[in-house]
Amino acid sequence: NAGVTQTPKFQVLKTGQSMTLQCAQDMNHNSMYWYRQDPGMGLRLIYYSASEGTTDKGEVPNGYNVSRLNKREFSLRLESAAPSQTSVYFCASRLSWADNTEAFFGQGTRLTVV
């Protein structure tokens, strides 16, 4: 069972470079999410997609863009990376928009911006 798959697992970028983090789920889930995890701050929501064809900003969207490519895939793009974006990024999915259902997480992408 693949579940939620994120690529890459590690990435080092120079300030100003761009990159796209990929996420795919094979559970036929409707909702997908991007979080960042920073020491002492837990998980903060960047963007989410309640269903295919929709995306919305979360708590910390500045400097990021997303694309819900189809029901399976939800990508996160950094157009011009900054050191403040050094973090661990997690993609998650949920069966429905109802927030009382379990979220499934990928293994994370550790991004360093120098």
Partner 1 sequence: GDSVTQMEGPVTLSEEAFLTINCTYTATGYPSLFWYVQYPGEGLQLLLKATKADDKGSNKGFEATYRKETTSFHLEKGSVQVSDSAVYFCALGNTGGFKTIFGAGTRLFVKA
Query: Rounded distance, CA 105 to CA 4, Å?
Result: 6
The answer to the question of residue 50 lying near partner 1 (CB under 8 A) is: yes
- Minimum Å gap between C-beta 13 and partner 1 is 21
Report in angstroms the alpha-carbon separations of 4 from 13, 50, 92. 24, 16, 7
Binding partner 1 (rule: CB under 8 A), the pick from 83, 97, 112, 114 is 97
85 binds partner 1, rule: CB under 8 A: no
Q: Measuring CA to CA, which residue among 33, 68, 66, 73 is closest to residue 53?
A: 68
- Judged by the rule CB under 8 A, the positions of this chain that interact with partner 1 are 4, 31, 35, 40-43, 45, 48, 50, 56, 58, 90, 92, 97-108
